[in-house]
Amino acid sequence: MSVAISAGPSADQRGGRRRDPEVARLLAHAADGGRITHEEALLLYRRAPFHALGGAADAVRRRRHPHDVATYIIDRNINYTNVCVTACRFCAFYRPPSSPEGWVRDLDDILARCGEAVELGATQIMLQGGHHPGFGIEWYEETFAAIKAAYPQLALHSLGGSEVVHVSKVSGLTFEQVIRRLHAAGLDSFAGAGAEILVQRPRQAIAPLKEPGEVWLQVMEVAHGLGVESTATFMMGTGESDAERIEHLRMIRDVQDRTGGFRSFIPWTYQPENNHLRGRTEASVFAYLRLVAVARLFFDNIAHLQGSWLTVGKEAGQLSLHMGADDLGSVMLEENVVSSAGARHRTNRAELLRLIRTAGRVPAQRDTLYRHLVVHSDPADDPVDEGGKVRSHVSSTASPGSSASPGGVSPSRQSRRLDLAPA
């Protein structure tokens, strides 16, 4: 049975334009589950009426997830160091190796944060940090193994393609060797970290020292072939064109056609504070929501699409659930990287449940594999968080009142300062 999708009124009341039959045809085709090309996706991104675009994307979402459930997860982003040799122009978190503001978390500190996360109901840890020149494969093996030994119930959804490239250089290993050893030490799956934008021109402009997008995808393809799945991400708003945004999607879909290893796609927006780009290029909420909808239509081979309340705000995050998203992300007990660049949105579990419900969805807590752990069908049975403990940014170096100053000095008493000047 086909889904009827209107391309809007017969004339654009603001511009006097007639109804576009090609847009209408493409929306109906995609809403019915048909594959669209990246050229057609670009046409829809630029020309489809907003509500018709969202309606088509929501039709795809309903087909994939027919019970109107929207999910969330409780996790913690633990940043193990801010020392990084990559020096991305959009990043406000990193410090160069010679900086007196560089820090590294002790293993005891990392384990304490994992324990606190478990107490608050977290099921996942995202261990991420800078490309430290002294961190080879052994550091990650020791850290992952220690976390798994202490908290085997935690999924380690951590690192990304860029970290694999860095470790392979430091340790003189192939991508396959790095991935096999990380997985054996306890890594469950890769986050989409380091993707930013995969298209060469804008990637070179914002991260000239980072591996090309094709190499990032190569790492993910190797990982998928070894049974280590991942997510795919997109940071939009750093000066890329509409065509380059859609090309980023095409590059991901091509790999997914071969591997099937991307569990979800997560677009988010560049944050403008405290970095070299200085907010000269930002994506509007409107452009973000259009990208979410086009991604849902384009990715016929990726099951899940996540909204990003952290970067676009809770209201826009909620709207993403009407533009094809089936997941509202994480309570995010700790987050430092994006917050350092100005993302000040905060939430808690009760508020996420409310946002999902008032969008007309049934909230469900999920795990890393998107399996439903608890479906919150009845508001009367919702969990009660005494003192609002299950909230975002329980601790964060980027939050007011944290144990560190905003300048990035030692984030906890257990972290150790290193003399990182080149020998």
Pair 126, 177 in one domain: yes
Residue 405 pLDDT > 90: no
Quick one: pLDDT band at residue 132, thresholds 50, 70, 90? very high
- Which pLDDT value is given to residue 178? 98
Look at residues 10, 38, 64 and tell me which one is the last residue of a structural domain: 64
Show which of 64, 84, 110 is a domain's final residue.
64
Statement to judge: residues 161 and 12 lie in one domain:
no
Q: Is the domain of 21 the same as that of 106?
A: no
Task: Identify the pLDDT of residue 342.
Answer: 44
Instruction: Tell me: pLDDT of 271 over 70.
Output: no
Each residue of 246-262: b (16+ CB within 10 Å) or e? Answer: bbbbbbbbebbeebebb
Mean confidence (pLDDT) of the chain: 85
Q: The tokens 């403990």 sit on which residue?
A: 389
Taking alpha carbons only, the member of 77, 74, 122, 71 closest to residue 320 is 71
| 27 in any annotated domain | yes
Classify the C-alpha dihedral 84-87-90-95 as positive or negative: positive
pLDDT value at position 331?
87
pLDDT at residue 247, rounded to an integer: 98
Does the residue 238 lie in any domain?
yes
**pTM (whole model) above 0.85:** yes
Sorting pLDDT into bands at 50, 70 and 90, what band is 400? very low
Q: Looking at the structure, tell me whether residues 49 and 73 fall in a common domain.
A: no
169 and 274 part of one domain: yes
Domain boundary among 9, 34, 64: 64
pLDDT value at residue 269: 87
Span of 51-55, 299-303, 358-362, 386-390 with lowest mean pLDDT: 386-390
Residue 421 included in any domain: no
Within-domain flag for 405: no
Residue 262 is part of which domain span?
69-388
Number of domains in the chain: 2
Q: Are residues 87 and 37 in the same domain?
A: no
| Residue 404 covered by a domain | no
Say what the pLDDT of residue 13 is: 38
* Domain match, 74 and 218 both: yes
Query: C-alpha dihedral over 114, 141, 208, 339, to 10 degrees?
Result: 0
Residues 38 and 99 in one domain: no
Same domain, 21 and 84: no
- In this structure, are 14 and 83 located in the same domain? no
For the cut 60, the answer to whether the pLDDT of residue 228 exceeds it is yes
User: Which tens digits make up the pLDDT trace of 241-256?
Assistant: 999 999 999 999 999 9
**Which of 96-100, 296-300, 378-382 has the highest mean predicted lDDT (pLDDT)?**
296-300
**Cβ contacts of residue 130 below 8 Å, gap of 6+?**
81, 82, 83, 84, 85, 86, 93, 94, 95
Same-domain pairing of 33 and 73:
no
In a domain, 423, yes or no: no
Q: Tokens 């533009």: give the residue.
A: 323
Residue 230 sits in a domain of what CATH number? 3.20.20.70
| Mean per-residue pLDDT, 155-179 | 97
Cα→Cα distances 41→7, 53, 232, 299, Å = 15, 11, 18, 10
410 in a structural domain: no
User: Looking at the domain assignment, is residue 420 inside a domain?
Assistant: no
Confidence of residue 38 (pLDDT cuts 50, 70, 90): very high
Are residues 322 and 279 both part of a single domain?
yes
Of the pLDDT bands very low, low, confident and very high (cuts 50, 70, 90), residue 378 is very high
